[in-house]
Amino acid sequence: MFKSYRKLFITLSLVVSTTTSLAIATDAISSRTYENGKKVIDGGVTYPVVHGKTASYFINEKAHMIGYSIGRKPTKNEITAWDIDVMPDGTGLPKGSGTAEEGDEIYEAKCASCHADFGAGGAGYPALAKGNAYEGFKTLKNQRTDSSIDSPSRVFGSYWPQASTLWWYIKTGMPHPSPLSLKDDEVYALVAYTLMINEMKIDGVEVDEEYELDEKKFLKIKMPNEDGFEPNIDGKQGVENVRAYFNDFSNYGNGTRCMKNCFDGKPIIARIQGVGISNYDPPLSTEKSMPVAKTETTDVKGKKEYETVCAACHGTDAMGAPILGDKKAWATVTQKGMDKVYQNAINGINGMPARGASTYSDEKIKEIVDYMVNQVK
């Protein structure tokens, strides 16, 4: 009797424990908050540890409290060495200067081989400009509902929201074969050149060949698409802005968070018409059996043996032997008759060893000779 009561008590305790854990986990999902009370960025959730569990999974609480034990805390100098990016507010931007004309010379020497003349791009390398950046910015709103509408110009000038990304990307990643090889002044010159070919302005002044860009002028660059992305991830409040944006369901979708019964009626499905490939060659097939192995036919006797033994000399003109398919060379060889050709192949002649240094029979050697002779008929 005592054992039965004890078993029942343990069972009820597990039910209560699991129910409590699941209830807290469910509450965490519904409120979508971290243990510190902040809402999560949509798509993630952290579960509190309750009675040795997170939701329905047991964890090692002692190990959980220890934290990470791999590696070590980086030193201040190491962090400084790694922290080489440039932020939109100018953090990390070094002193320096360079003109667009100087950038043109550097571009021709180190960049044009990939990005082509005037940043046109090609062969898998991105274009850096497509005319006036301010006009290209307008095309970003285009929807290509028909062929008469220009496609969006997703290049640096019209698409990128901040110029700071360009500076540190050139500095740390370009030129591709030797990143971090450019001096700061060279980077300023290349940025100036990129602004020039995008026909951009800084503080109302269009960047031309003589324009000298420095760190002070750089901070005055306003990209056409500066406010074209959401949410705003820049600045100290970047993460909080993202958190607030994704937890306000009116910013996307139908304005409410749901997994079913999200709207009345049936959904309207838009199907793409008039595109795609239909004339496949060979035709599409679901056949998965192995192809039938091809067998040698009687008209290629000697081919396999030729490729195994004879091609090393008769497949190239480097060895002085008549090349397979050379009609003039084989006409000279066969002018004394096939019996003589067979005899030379079997017994050897000049630099050619008997039987081509093989152990083939006389009949097989004759088949090989016939094969080579037939290639010029």
What is the span of the domain harbouring residue 95? 81-218
- Which of 184, 218, 252 is the endpoint of a domain? 218
- Which of 12, 42, 66 is the endpoint of a domain? 66
The answer to whether residue 71 sits within a structural domain is no
The answer to whether residue 19 sits within a structural domain is yes
Q: For residue range 207-227, what is the model confidence (pLDDT) as tens digits? A: 999 999 999 999 999 999 998
Distance CA 244, CA 249 (A): 10
The answer to whether residue 22 sits within a structural domain is yes
The answer to whether residue 194 sits within a structural domain is yes
- Which of 218, 235, 253 is the endpoint of a domain? 218
Q: Are residues 142 and 116 in the same domain?
A: yes
What is the mean pLDDT, run by run of 10 residues, along the chain of 377 residues? 33 34 38 58 66 82 67 87 88 95 95 90 87 91 79 90 94 89 96 96 96 96 92 84 82 69 71 65 77 65 85 76 85 87 86 82 89 85
Name the token pair of 192: 């100036």
CA angle, residues 259, 261, 264, in degrees to nearest 5: 140
Q: Are residues 109 and 36 in the same domain?
A: no
Q: Are residues 210 and 88 in the same domain?
A: yes
Q: For residue range 219-256, what is the model confidence (pLDDT) as tens digits? A: 999 999 998 888 888 888 888 888 888 877 778 766 66
Q: Are residues 302 and 188 in the same domain?
A: no
The beta strand positions in the chain, using DSSP E, are 53-54, 57-58, 97-99, 201-202, 205-206, 212-214
Here the CATH number for the domain that contains residue 318 is: 1.10.760.10
Domains identified in the chain, total number: 3
Distance CA 127, CA 111 (A): 11
Q: Are residues 111 and 191 in the same domain?
A: yes
Q: Are residues 103 and 47 in the same domain?
A: no
Identity of the residue numbered 95: K
